Amino acid sequence: MVRRYLRLLTVQLKASGLQALQYRADFFTDGFTSLCWVFTALAPLFVVYGRQPEVEGWSFGEALLVVGWFTLLQGILEGAINPSLTGVVEHIRKGTLDFVLLKPADAQFLVSTQRFLPWRAFNVLTGLGLFIYAFMLLGRGPSPLGLLTSLLLLGTSTVLLYSLWILTVSAAFFVVRVDNLTYLFTSIFDFARWPSSVFKGVAKGALTLVFTYVIPLALMTTFPAEAMLGRLPVASLVGAVVGSAVFAWVARRVWIRSIGHYTSASS
């Protein structure tokens, strides 16, 4: 069973890889635009930290780590999650999801792996670059334990991101026209670019609650950054692991229920 799905995954990856190799020049154009967008995340930080050395207990180098995680996850989102799931919306609208459902494999697996855009993952490299720059500014390296924890959190963040995406896409079964819903998702993810403690002062902490429990953006970028700095409480780590598992489970249930509403729109 697992071996069969691994083989399927290799086939899908190979197909996407071959396609990407056809458009090699995209590596540079996508890379260039991604660097530009990263600059928009950095510009406000430069302006803020040009005026004061610390915001809500985060120095410039530390805040850079959060931006680094934001960029890295954006790379995963745009390279591995977005392309496939945008395809699902298209399938639902055109009614071609039939062909996926007929195949003798799990539909969620098939639609989630149907397309990867390796060149879009350029942001992952940029994110790593930001980590190096941040630690140079901080004048020390991450602790080995912190690094291990942050790797674990990379896993949980990806799971969270993917689950939130599945939840968004499930909406397509009900409202059909959601290609801009996906855009909305990316816009909300923009809130993850600052350390989550900046939200403390807004609306009496209500935003912090929302971004920790409802849309767990804090878990995705601030937690791994804190782990790298070696100051993430163990309780938060456990919370992140359990939380992402719960989110994945809920997303799976919602997907199965939503697919029951699929009516093969076009024919």
Among 191, 223, 247, 255, binds another protein (CB under 8 A): 191
In the list 177, 235, 266, 267, the residue contacting another protein (rule: CB under 8 A) is 177
Token pair in block for residue 164? 């939130």
Contact between 167 and another protein by CB under 8 A: the answer reads: no
Candidate residues 19, 143, 180, 264; the one interacting with another protein per rule CB under 8 A: 180
Task: Return all residues near 148 (Cβ < 8 A) that are at least 6 apart.
Answer: none
> Of the ranges 83-91, 157-165, 186-194, 242-250, which one interacts with another protein (CB under 8 A)?
186-194
- Does the footprint of another protein cover residue 202 (CB under 8 A)? yes
Which of 3, 177 has the CB closer to another protein? 177
Q: Which of 10, 19, 143, 187 binds another protein (CB under 8 A)?
A: 187
CA atoms of 121 and 132, how far apart (whole Å):
18
Amino acid identity at 265: A
- At 212 the three-state DSSP class reads helix
Asked if 29 is part of the footprint of another protein (rule: CB under 8 A), the reply reads yes
Tell me how crowded residue 10 is: count the other CB atoms within 10 A of its CB: 12
- Does position 36 interact with another protein (CB under 8 A)? The reply is yes
CB of 48 to another protein, least distance (A): 5
Assign 236 to helix, strand or coil. helix
DSSP three-state, residue 105: coil
Question: Side chain identity at 128, as an amino acid letter?
Answer: L
Nearest approach in angstroms of CB 264 to another protein is 23
Report the C-alpha gap between 81 and 167 in whole angstroms.
13
Site for another protein in 46-85 (CB under 8 A): 47-48, 50-52, 55-56
SS3 54: strand
Residues with Cβ within 8 Å of 96's Cβ and at least 6 positions away in sequence, in order, are: 90, 266
Footprint on this chain of another protein (rule: CB under 8 A): 29, 32-33, 36-37, 39-40, 43-44, 47-48, 50-52, 55-56, 177, 180-181, 183-184, 186-188, 190-191, 193-194, 197-202, 207
